[in-house]
């Protein structure tokens, strides 16, 4: 069965090792897999796409033409919209960081506060504001973007990411920021293996079931009272930290999952 792994061109260069592993493990699971990137059209022989970008409308178009997309477009849409993510958490009864849209500077009652673009990723568009001037500066940087605001929650610059394939938690890492309140490894943070509690596992599996997802990351922070709060859902989720902290062959397990989904 023929399928494609889709990346934006820059991301494809950065993730070449993982792409090669996916192609190799695809072959081991009776799947002929090739890379598709950038503006290239999806070939007529495609039966599935492992989608590693953030344009859910592209996913929708492929789905409407009968292509199996992993993850499906609704996963991509919700995971890449922070407001939609927190609304899903509320529907599922999962504790999350209190979040609301920022319409104007007058919406902010007290500081410090966190401002985020609703569609940002990787921690690049997350800002800690301690004064009105800082908040105004952040707002000016994103004149045509939607922002959400959250209270700053002390969490020792760390979070926990659970990785799920289908409805199973296959691994978890604790990420800790270095000279930053952000824990993202891509911004210089560190990662270590984390033993998942039954509560966190239950929350993450509930999200995966609701989304009908294939391969996602679910991030939580813990407040001073010890309560775990949903921070983000990641699609596409990277595998680097999981490879570095466990013996798991992520590419193999993902391709096994896709094989089971198709056959």
Read off the pLDDT of residues 132-141 as tens digits, 9 standing for 90 and up: 999 999 999 9
pLDDT of residue 180: 59
Q: What is the pTM of this model?
A: 0.92
Class of domain 100-151: alpha beta
Q: Are 216 and 206 in contact (CB under 8 A)?
A: no
70-74, 91-95, 146-150, 152-156: least confidently modelled range: 152-156
Residue 187 has pLDDT above 60, yes or no: no
pLDDT of residue 110: 86
- Cis omega (within 30 of 0) for bond into 112: yes
In which residue are the tokens 């813990």 written? 222
Q: 2-77: what fold?
A: Rossmann fold (3.40.50)
Q: Where exactly does CATH 3.30.1490.20 map onto the chain?
A: 100-151
Rounded average pLDDT over 101-124: 87
Q: What is the pLDDT of residues 6-15, one digit of tens each?
A: 999 999 999 9
CA distance 162 to 249: 16
Helices 16-28 and 250-262, axial angle in degrees (round to 10): 50
Q: Where exactly does CATH 3.40.50.20 map onto the chain?
A: 2-77
What does pLDDT average to over the chain? 93
Q: What is the pLDDT of residues 14-47, one digit of tens each?
A: 999 999 999 999 999 999 999 999 999 999 999 9
Q: Where exactly does CATH 3.30.470.20 map onto the chain?
A: 155-262
pLDDT of residue 237: 97
In which residue are the tokens 């699971």 written? 29
Which pLDDT band, with edges at 50, 70 and 90, does 105 fall under?
A: confident
Using alpha carbons, select from 196, 156, 153, 152 the residue that is nearest to residue 175: 156
pLDDT of residue 183: 57
The CATH architecture annotation of domain 155-262 reads: 2-Layer Sandwich (3.30)
CA distance 33 to 19: 10
Which pLDDT band, with edges at 50, 70 and 90, does 185 fall under?
A: low
């Amino acid at each position: 069965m023929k399928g494609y792994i889709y990346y934006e061109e820059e991301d494809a260069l950065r993730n070449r090792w993982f792409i090669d592993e996916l192609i190799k493990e695809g072959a081991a699971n009776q799947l002929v897999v090739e890379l598709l990137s950038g503006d290239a059209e999806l070939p007529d022989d495609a039966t599935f796409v492992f989608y590693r970008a953030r344009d859910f409308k592209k996913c929708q178009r492929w789905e409407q033409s009968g292509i199996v997309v992993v993850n499906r477009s609704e996963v991509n849409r919700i995971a890449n919209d922070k407001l939609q993510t927190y609304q899903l958490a509320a529907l599922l009864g999962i504790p999350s960081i209190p979040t609301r849209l920022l319409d104007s500077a007058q919406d902010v009652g007290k500081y410090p506060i966190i401002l985020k673009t609703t569609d940002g990723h990787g921690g690049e568009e997350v800002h800690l504001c301690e004064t009105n001037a800082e908040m105004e500066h952040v707002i000016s940087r994103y004149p045509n973007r939607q922002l959400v605001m959250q209270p700053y929650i002390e969490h020792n610059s760390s979070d926990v990411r659970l990785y799920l394939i289908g409805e199973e938690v296959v691994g978890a890492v604790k990420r800790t920021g270095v000279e930053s309140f952000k824990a993202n490894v891509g911004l210089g943070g560190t990662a270590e293996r984390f033993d998942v509690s039954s509560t966190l596992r239950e929350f993450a599996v509930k999200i995966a079931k609701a989304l009908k997802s294939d391969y996602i990351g679910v991030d939580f922070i813990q407040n001073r009272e010890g309560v775990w709060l949903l921070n983000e859902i990641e699609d596409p989720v990277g595998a680097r930290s999981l490879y570095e902290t466990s013996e798991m062959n992520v590419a193999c397990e993902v391709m096994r999952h896709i094989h089971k989904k198709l056959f």
